[in-house]
């Protein structure tokens, strides 16, 4: 909701707040701006590589 509120403020010609009550808001924007994606699949090897990189960066920061 906060993200949509900032889009309404930044791009009032594309994103519009069409309705609001105590607990909800309704927005209007082009259908082409909506996307649905599967969660990113990260292999065990990629996860371990990222873990090692972060360990190295944290060690470098301490020195």
For residues 13 and 5, the answer to whether their CB atoms sit within 8 Å is no
Rounded to an integer, what distance in angstroms lies between the CA atom of residue 43 and that of residue 40?
10
Question: Looking at the predicted structure, is the pLDDT value of residue 63 above 90?
Answer: no
Query: What's the rounded mean pLDDT across residues 13-23?
Result: 95
| pLDDT tens string 24-56 | 999 999 999 999 999 889 999 999 999 999 999
pLDDT at 10: 97
Q: Within 13 A of 4's CA, how many CA atoms are on the CB side?
A: 15
CA-angle at 42, arms to 56 and 54, nearest 5°: 10
Listed in sequence order, the residues at least 6 apart from 8 whose beta carbon sits closer than 8 Å to its beta carbon are: 15, 16, 17, 27
Kindly list the domain boundaries of the chain, sorted by start residue.
1-30
Within 10 Å of residue 60's Cβ, how many Cβ atoms?
8
pTM over 0.75, yes/no? no
pLDDT at 62: 82
Question: Looking at the predicted structure, is the pLDDT value of residue 8 above 80?
Answer: yes
């Amino acid at each position: 909701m906060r993200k949509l509120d900032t889009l309404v403020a930044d791009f009032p010609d594309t994103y519009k707040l069409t309705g609001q009550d105590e607990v909800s808001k309704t927005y209007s924007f082009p259908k082409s701006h909506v996307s649905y994606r599967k969660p990113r699949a990260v292999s065990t090897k990629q996860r371990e590589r990222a873990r090692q990189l972060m360990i190295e960066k944290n060690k470098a920061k301490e020195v």
